[in-house]
Structure 1
Amino acid sequence: MERKNDLELMVLIGSKRFVTDFELLTSLKNENVRLYSEKSLSMIEFRKLNSSSK
């Protein structure tokens, strides 16, 4: 079974029961943190590759 991200899970759960604004905002925040972390890691790797090629 493929892993769903927090936001997808909250939407699925929301269709089954009432989801509070707090739960949705927390899920969005967690997803933003994850995306920002991935982007930061990508930039670090890019800089390492770029500096090693010089």
Structure 2
Amino acid sequence: MPKIYDNIENHLANGLNETLEVSAAIFDLVKRCLKGLDENSVMLTRIQKQI
């Protein structure tokens, strides 16, 4: 295999790894946001019951 193909393969692999890392970070962020919204909802329900 010519060296240029190795370089292209490495670039593609690195790009894929970075894409997966970013996707995982976005997923984690969305999960945290949903958890926060759920906690806010529980708090609001408790406050409404006290009023």
TM-score (norm 2): 0.68
Q: Runs of 4 or more off by more than 3 Å in structure 1?
A: none
Query: Which sections of structure 1, spanning at least 5 residues, go unmatched?
Result: 1-17
Percent identity between matched residues is 11
Q: RMSD between aligned alpha carbons?
A: 1.4
Q: 1:24 aligns with which of 11, 19, 22?
A: 11
Aligned residues: 37
More helix by share: 2
TM-score (norm 1): 0.64
Shift of 1:52: 0.6
Query: Which sections of structure 2, spanning at least 5 residues, go unmatched?
Result: 42-51
